Structure 1
Amino acid sequence: MVEGLQVRGLRARRDRRGPVAGTSVAVLAWTALVCVGFLGSALLATDTVVGGYNASAYWVSYRDGFVKRGLPGAVLETVVGGPPGLLAASVFGAALIVLALAALALLVRMTVRAVPAPAHRLVGAALVIASPFTFALVVQNRGRYDLIVVVCLVLAAWLASSRSLPWLRAAGISALVAVGAASMEIAFGFLGPLAERIGLGALALLPGLAVTAASLIAPPAGSALVAASERAAAAGLPITAAQESSISALGQNLSDALAFTASVSPLSILLCAAVLGGCYALSAYLLWVVTGRVRPRLVLAVVAVNALVALVLSAVGTDYRRWWGLAFVATAAGLVLLARDVPRVPAARHADERPWRRLLVAGLLASAVLQVFPIWPTWEPSASTNASLEHVLHHGTSAG
């Protein structure tokens, strides 16, 4: 009879853990294959590792005065001693990919350490690794400065969790917020709230806020955009003033962005918001569960603030998956910080865990399917701005 009870107990444990663990492993394998596939296509590109559109941003620097998103290009120019060539741009783009992947690996480690129940640690890792907003997006979105923001978000959370001197942590996180904002001004929407939740106060946010304000208030001169485009073309990048690039994108203002968004089908906008936002919300909820259901009100505030930033950015740019990706990384980093001071004891077991297990399986499967969801609605003809440098200069638009 005792043996029968033991057998039934083992079966119960397999029933309780088997499907979830099996799904986690399957989704992790699928994610790895997708990442390898995208990375392979990047390495086979004929111009640069990151492609012509994304790589064009590397020739935007402070050579012609302050310009938003000019910090990475200025650093690259300093390293190579002048405007980069295609090889330097390829190495720089590949380095961004490696740094972002390493940062996400650190985020996975931090998440696993925040999960109190050993049986749920693989699940916590799977929720981050297999998310369509992390590793797969880094490779699919390769070369963009979003990757710098991802690194800044994870390092800020890591520094906040370290045992270094408080003033040293504050200085480091303040520098990360400023670097993120100087690389992509919209990063402050995700980095600012994260740093504020760490408890640094407004003073530590001032450098990043100043950079963000300058980026939004002081539009880049048309001559600076032309000079950057000419440097990119001289280096051999297949770029002309008649085609859209990361350089010409800097010349769009807020009214242009809103008018462009208004031309996109509301159905496409709603579909992307529902699919990507739904996956974000479900993944955040599942992460909250496996990390011990800590501080529900604060966690809800974190999830809501990052979702709001993603929705605001969606109103001025159709790269919807990028915004939800940054929101997810910021939320995961925030969850890790909120769980750091909570005693590491498993959450109380509910009478019936089947609803949560079904949600978990659904979330992991949705993450697997959305690995190949496009960054912007490629099926929508009007979702491409076609904002070439010629168009920007002709209409007298400026960065907003």
Structure 2
Amino acid sequence: MTLLPGTRVLDLSQWLPGPMAGQLLADLGAAVCKVEPPGGDPMRALGPVDDDGVSAWYKAINAGKTVVRLDLKSGEGRDAFRRLVAEADILLESYRPGTLDKLGLGRDSLAALNPRLVHCALSGYGQTGPYALKGGHDINYMAVGGGLAASGPEAAPVMTYPPVADHASALQAVVVILAALLRRGGGPEAGRGAYLDVSLTETVLAWQALPMTGALRPGWQPTRGRALLNGGAACYRVYGTADGRFVTLGAIEAKFWRCFCEAVGRPGLVARQWEPFPQKALIAEVEAIFAGQPLAHWTALLGPLDCCFEPVPELAEVPDHPQVAARGQIRRRGQEPGEGPRVESLLGAWIDGSPPPDRAPLRELEPAAALAAWRRSAAV
């Protein structure tokens, strides 16, 4: 099941995007050594904290890694870090641009130490440009990258949760890292490392070609609450039920819409599917239909049909959803003394017919022991 045997990853990142990227590489079989400052990754204190003083969120996003603490502001810490870099395949970091240069650990010096190193710098706005050194979080990157402009009802954009830019940029980082490994592995540039500049903002921006094109065309502007996929169409919306729950209807194709209309006893709605957007009158009629019965009624009636209907499960219900349970991606943790319950979501892929592999809990070692363990675990 291991796709990256013998691959060694040095993860300097903190919070969510970089650590998630490191975990994805670990899930694919790489040996990941996470380097934290003496005080630890600040993510250790974010979210529900267990009796041992460490956040369950931190444990979930860093499972499968070995953690070492190094003071990169000290000569001893930098020397230990250089020893790790010399044997690494991948360096993943999420500092503000220029931070490693100030420590004498910039792009050129690391490449000289290890010419095969794939160095991925993950940042909010990228390594260059007027915003390069500006602070920000997911909501800011979503705004600048165009991810909020057309999302939500007409009154105001809606913040997404979990944060989209954080998670999407982790995937983006892994994609370009794997491509760099492919280039290094063969062809005219075999053996050559890479420096990868990945930004959260540009990850979001990469998704915006269609909506930005629509914004230039009369009649295709994806204005909030007024377009096909963001609330303007009755056939593609979230609706409330009589008992305060919610359902989704994604009946874009005519056959799905017809199936839905006939199932709820309203065949007269079939011909109205493509009324001009926003379809406020038609939406109100469908809202009234769903509001007339509880969730269980609609699940029993529409669930067996081919009309793109799905209930919205509460988060606590998601692990037990029959499809989720059948695919084996979710693990419940927190059985160890002093720990509360938590959930890990494993690699979202099956490999060679096998479900995603389990993750070992994170472990913290001294630098020398971590290097030795890293060598053993990455040996092919």
Indicate the TM-score class for this superposition, using the shorter chain for normalisation: under 0.3
Q: TM-score normalized by structure 1?
A: 0.23
Q: TM-score normalized by structure 2?
A: 0.24
Q: Which protein shows a greater Rg? A: 2
Q: Which has the higher contact order (CA 8 A, sep 6+)?
A: 1
